[in-house]
Amino acid sequence: MKALFFGSIGTIVETSEIQRQSFNLAFKDAGLNWYWNIATYCDLLREPGGKKRIRNYSSNTLSENIVDLIHSKKEEYFEEFLSESLLPRDGVTEIIDLCSKRKIKLGFITSTSLKNINSIKNALIGKLDFSCFDIITSIENVKNPKPDSEVYTFALRELGLDKNDVYVIEDTKANQSAAIELGITCFLNPGEYALVGTNDNPNYEISKSINSIINNT
């Protein structure tokens, strides 16, 4: 293993509930009689991308301007929530420390907005130092967000690595498919609201798995 990629915000921190609450507040501001309960939100998480979820839920009846306004407001609420106590997911700091000691490159390979990434970085000041990452990507680096594999192609090219040099951690099946499409080995470490079954091979002890791979490399 020459590099390990954390594939989304959800692999670093658990934000599912504050994302859901942020959406609901944004709907209220927009005058929509919408409310995403946990079951509804879990189902919507099958597809990545907040704007796409809004479009799908509305059956594409909202104009793109309205979708943009709702999503922008949601992002504002999300940033407010992030100012509250937030901690890295279990195993994240241990994995990062181990990779750093073994000189294994680290990547934070997302296709979310740069604003979201900066919000997470600010929320984790003193808890996780993002300078540990050799590369951080955002939607600004690609034309097509996940589940398209473009962002992983970009990261491999930037670091001069082959698909066989890298392991990836993702938090949803949709995001996982972006890595698998390129033939990259990808662990699924589901978030709190991710809908997965035992056949999806979820890994809830990700630090042990990565530790084992590194020690046998």
pLDDT digits (tens, 9 = 90+) for 179-193: 999 999 999 998 888
Both 77 and 105 in one domain: the answer is no
Please report the pLDDT score of residue 198 as a whole number.
53
- Residue 179 tokens read as 């890595």
From residue 84, alpha-carbon distances to 50, 148, 190 in Å are: 21, 32, 23
CATH number of the domain that residue 210 is part of: 3.40.50.1000
Query: On the CB side of 161, how many CA atoms lie within 13 Å of its CA?
Result: 25
Residue with tokens 């658990």: 14
Both 165 and 122 in one domain: the answer is yes
CATH number of the domain that residue 62 is part of: 1.10.150.240
Both 132 and 101 in one domain: the answer is yes
Q: What residue ranges of the chain have pLDDT lower than 70? A: 85, 195-201
What phi, psi does 109 have (nearest 5°)?
-105, 85
Query: Containing H/E element for 4?
Result: strand 3-6
Please report the pLDDT score of residue 173 as a whole number.
87
The count of domains in the chain is 2
From residue 208, alpha-carbon distances to 12, 80, 194, 211 in Å are: 16, 34, 21, 5
